[in-house]
Structure 1
Amino acid sequence: MPENPEEKLLILQLSEDSRKIARILSNETSIRILKLLDRKSMSAADIADELEVRLNTLKYNLDSLLEAGLIRVRQVKWSRKGREIKVYETVGKMIVLLSGERSSDMSLLLTILRQHSMKNSEGTAALEFSGVYCEPGI
């Protein structure tokens, strides 16, 4: 899970931003990348080899996932030839799309999340609701 509470949950109303995320998540290559990175951190070349996709296709999907905040660069390594190699990982973000603008939707959502909050290794609630990030206007 992300270190910052505001990265744990992204709540979006239907908007251009939510449509972008939905587009990314409807892309088969993006989903395959997310599933792979959920298992282990990898470089773009390793991801391309594993998924058997061309590097330019992979780069497009990685850029989209980075822009949406669904993955991040975990570390930067250097090749023997002095080239930068980025190692990617998922951010462990939950995404909730709200179809309405009513504040009751938000109250209901928070109630449900509190009832089914995630537990960390000590058995205490790991999701900090004070750190929930909501799109402006919610």
Structure 2
Amino acid sequence: MPEKPEEKLLILQLSDDSRKISRILSNEISIRILKLLDRKSMSASDIADELGVRLNTLKYNLDSLLEIELIRVRQVKWSRKGREIKVYETVGKTIILLSGKKNSDMSLILTLLRHYNLKSPEKKDTSEISGLCCEHGI
């Protein structure tokens, strides 16, 4: 089932949720995880080995990224010893942070984004849309 364009977009008002997401994304390990998973899907132990971090530190960061829905479990495999192995992947969301009124017209924002992407499909950065600031990619 194809994903809706709205599921690839996270529009945040300045709030406790946006501060939480900003805090998670300001963590160097979280950013390194996202960059790594953007290249290929991996298990927690593979990510820990690749990044040279302890598994419990990695697990904390994976849980945080799962909670804000920037990564997901792609599949669950089983080891020879019968242990569950989760394979993670990024969800490829674009995050837009809005200041101002809470009742911003989200449909207008989505329309502008769709219009921009149709005019320039090869260009993924939406930062040039008037009135919007978007950090695309991590």
What TM-score does the superposition give when structure 1 sets the normalisation length?
A: 0.77
Indicate the residue corresponding to 1:45 in structure 2: 45
Q: How many residues align?
A: 120
| 1:82-101 Cα distance to aligned partner (Å, 9 max, x none) | 00000000001111110111
Structure 2 residue 22 is matched with structure 1 residue 29 = no
Over the aligned positions, Cα root-mean-square deviation in angstroms equals: 2.5
Indicate the residue corresponding to 2:85 in structure 1: 85
Question: Structure 1's 20 and 118: CA in aligned 2 closer, same or farther, altered over 3 A?
Answer: farther
Question: Structure 1's 114 and 39: CA in aligned 2 closer, same or farther, altered over 3 A?
Answer: same
Structure 1's consecutive aligned runs of 4 or more residues displaced over 6 angstroms after TM superposition are: none
The letter for the 1-side match of 2:24 is: I
Query: Does the 8 A contact of 2:6 with 2:110 survive in 1?
Result: no
Indicate the residue corresponding to 2:10 in structure 1: 10
The letter for the 2-side match of 1:36 is: L
Query: Residue 116 of structure 1 aligns to a residue in which SS?
Result: helix
Query: Residue 69 of structure 1 aligns to a residue in which SS?
Result: coil
Taking the aligned partners of 1:116 and 1:72, their CA distance within structure 2 comes to 28
1:113 offset after TM fit, Å?
1.4
Unaligned runs of 5+ in 1: 124-138
Q: How does 1:54-65 map to 2 (within 5 A)?
A: 54-65=54-65
| 1:8-46 Cα distance to aligned partner (Å, 9 max, x none) | 111110111111110111110000000000000000000
Identity of aligned residues (%): 82
1:114 offset after TM fit, Å?
3.1
Unaligned runs of 5+ in 2: 123-138
Question: Structure 1's 102 and 15: CA in aligned 2 closer, same or farther, altered over 3 A?
Answer: closer
